[in-house]
Amino acid sequence: MGKPIDNVNQPTAKTPLASGDELLELVHRVMHQVRSQQYQALRDDPQALTHMESKVLGYFSRAPGSTQSNLVQHSGRDKAQLARLIKGLRERGLLDAQADADDRRNLRLDLTATGRALQRSLQQRTRQVATRAVAGFSAAEREQLRTLLQRVHDNLGPDAG
């Protein structure tokens, strides 16, 4: 009896191996779906957020009392862009600022009660989307996906190539 042939996991003329471009495009499409579903519930809310506004709120949620300079350093984003975002979030009552005790020129930023409620809503929506995204995956499959995505991230990191 001959060796069994495994055609299931082998590329065929109809299913060629995915190129790096195709894989990155798929990652992009998945992230677009995730973001779309995260913000779908918030779009109609009077406090609807843009993606970057949610990132800023998320940062100050995790690092209350940080400064705009801390955010610039953490995110690598343009200082002027972040200043405009912070100003807008403060005007909307989502961020509060207090002068730093040691250097009154620095403002320590924190979420307001409204900002915390909005952040909790976004986090809840994110958990729902994440649960749907991996529905039907075994624990081993989720770990394999995490490991592979971490490798992609590491390959693209500052020390790569």
Q: The tokens of 123 are what?
A: 């986090």
**DSSP classification of residue 4:** P
- The alpha helices in 44-138, defined as continuous H runs, are 51-62, 68-75, 79-91, 113-133
The proportion of the chain whose per-residue pLDDT surpasses 70, expressed as a percent, equals 84
Determine, yes or no, domain membership for 14.
Answer: no
The number of domains in the chain is: 1
pLDDT for 7 equals: 47
101 within a domain of the structure (yes/no): yes
Residue 8 covered by a domain: no
Position 59 in a domain: yes
> Which residue range forms the structural domain that includes residue 133?
43-155
Please give the pLDDT value at position 11: 47
Please indicate, yes or no, if residue 69 is contained in any of the structural domains: yes
Task: Supply the angle between the helices 51-62 and 79-91 in degrees, to the nearest 10.
Answer: 80
Mean of pLDDT values over 21-41? 86
- Confidence (pLDDT) at 125: 85
Residue 61: inside a domain: yes
pLDDT of residue 45: 66
Single pTM value for the model: 0.71
pLDDT value of residue 139:
96
Q: What is residue 54's predicted lDDT score, i.e. its pLDDT?
A: 87
| pLDDT value at residue 63 | 96
The position carrying tokens 């190129």 is: 19
Domain membership of residue 111 (yes or no) is: yes
Helix axes 51-62 and 68-75, enclosed angle (nearest 10)? 110
Q: At 161, is the pLDDT very low, low, confident or very high (cuts 50, 70, 90)?
A: low
Q: Is residue 161 part of a domain?
A: no
Q: Which residue has the higher pLDDT, 64 or 1?
A: 64
pLDDT at 18: 75
Lowest mean pLDDT among 6-10, 46-50, 75-79, 137-141: 6-10
User: At 141, which CATH number?
Assistant: 1.10.10.10
Give pLDDT tens digits for 108-126.
Answer: 999 999 999 999 988 888 8
> Which residues have C-beta within 8 Å of that of residue 116, sequence separation ≥ 6?
61
Name residues whose C-beta falls within 8 Å of residue 16's C-beta, 6 or more positions apart in sequence: none
Top pLDDT among 16 and 1 is at: 16
Rounded Cα gap, residues 62 and 2, in angstroms? 60
What b/e sequence results for 97-112 when a residue is b if at least 16 CB atoms lie within 10 Å of its CB, and e otherwise?
Answer: eeeeeeeeebbbbbbe
- 50-64 b/e (C-beta count within 10 Å ≥ 16 → b): eeebbebbebbbeee
Question: What pLDDT does residue 9 have?
Answer: 44
